């Protein structure tokens, strides 16, 4: 079987936070931004650039997604971001919701562009390419991965690597007690 790329599949969970508000307003392409600690947990193999995969908001359906990781050279951001455009039209914003993603393939590196129109057109090509790739059986099957159907917990800041859930809530909340309430 063909390899997916170094570090892939990569699973991540986090709360949707505010970015610069450019995605919807300037580009017409909203991106749900992950908080800094999720970005910081990315392993070195996950280089900056554009990835495709699947995404789920809270307990909703799982949709195709395309993600941008990096400093957005067109805007020269000072902080590295990890932003997911979900291929679905949502009625409302979902800041504060839990976003789960699995990244399956790498499309290209981040680029600078001479105009906003060129950036927008590149993003539209990425969306079309991701849409095609995700319909292939080898990628489509991840839509129903147990990662998405596991009972989700509030304030879950866990990160899942290669199917293994690494729960780092203790680090985030500073709690050291056991997380299992059933015993």
Ligand X SMILES: Cc1cc2nc3c(=O)[nH]c(=O)nc-3n(C[C@H](O)[C@H](O)[C@H](O)COP(=O)(O)O)c2cc1C
Ligand Y SMILES: Nc1ncnc2c1ncn2[C@@H]1O[C@H](COP(=O)(O)OP(=O)(O)O)[C@@H](O)[C@H]1O
Give the catalytic positions in this structure.
83
Residue 19 binds Mg ion, judged by CB under 5 A: yes
The residue at minimum Cβ distance from Mg ion is 31
Residue 14 binds Mg ion, judged by CB under 5 A: no
Q: What are φ and ψ of residue 151, in 5° steps?
A: -60, 125
90 binds, among ligand X, ligand Y, Mg ion, none (CB under 5 to 8 A by kind): ligand Y
CB of 119 to ligand X, least distance (A): 6
Is residue 46 within 8 Å of 10, Cβ to Cβ?
A: yes
86 binds, among Mg ion, ligand X, ligand Y, none (CB under 5 to 8 A by kind): ligand Y
The contact mask relative to ligand X for 28-67 (x = CB under 6 A, - = no) is -x-x-x----------------x---------------x-
What 3-state DSSP class applies to 29?
coil
Task: Give the closest residue to 73 by CA, choosing from 118, 37, 34.
Answer: 118
Strands (E), the chain: 10-15, 32-33, 49-57, 62-70, 81-86, 98-108, 159-161, 164-166
What is the DSSP code (8-state) at residue 17?
B
The contact mask relative to ligand Y for 75-94 (x = CB under 6 A, - = no) is ----------xx-x-x--xx
The residue at minimum Cβ distance from ligand Y is 23
Nearest 5°: the CA angle 132, 11, 97 is: 95
CB of 61 to ligand Y, least distance (A): 12
């Amino acid at each position: 079987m063909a390899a997916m790329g170094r570090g892939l599949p990569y699973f991540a969970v986090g709360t949707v936070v505010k970015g610069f508000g450019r995605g919807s307003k300037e580009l017409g392409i909203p991106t749900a931004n992950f908080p800094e600690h999720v970005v910081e947990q990315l392993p070195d193999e996950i280089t900056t650039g554009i990835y495709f995969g699947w995404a789920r908001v809270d307990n909703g359906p799982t949709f195709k997604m395309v993600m941008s990781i990096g400093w957005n050279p067109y805007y020269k951001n000072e902080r590295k971001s990890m932003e997911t455009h979900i291929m679905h039209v949502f009625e409302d914003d979902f800041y504060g919701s839990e976003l789960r993603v699995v990244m399956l393939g790498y499309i290209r590196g981040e680029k600078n562009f001479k105009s906003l129109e060129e950036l927008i057109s590149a993003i539209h090509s990425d969306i079309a390419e991701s849409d095609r790739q995700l319909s292939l059986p080898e990628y489509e099957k991840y839509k129903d991965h147990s990662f998405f159907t596991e009972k989700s917990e509030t304030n879950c800041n866990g990160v899942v690597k290669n199917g293994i859930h690494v729960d780092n809530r203790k680090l985030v909340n500073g709690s050291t007690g056991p997380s299992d309430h059933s015993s």
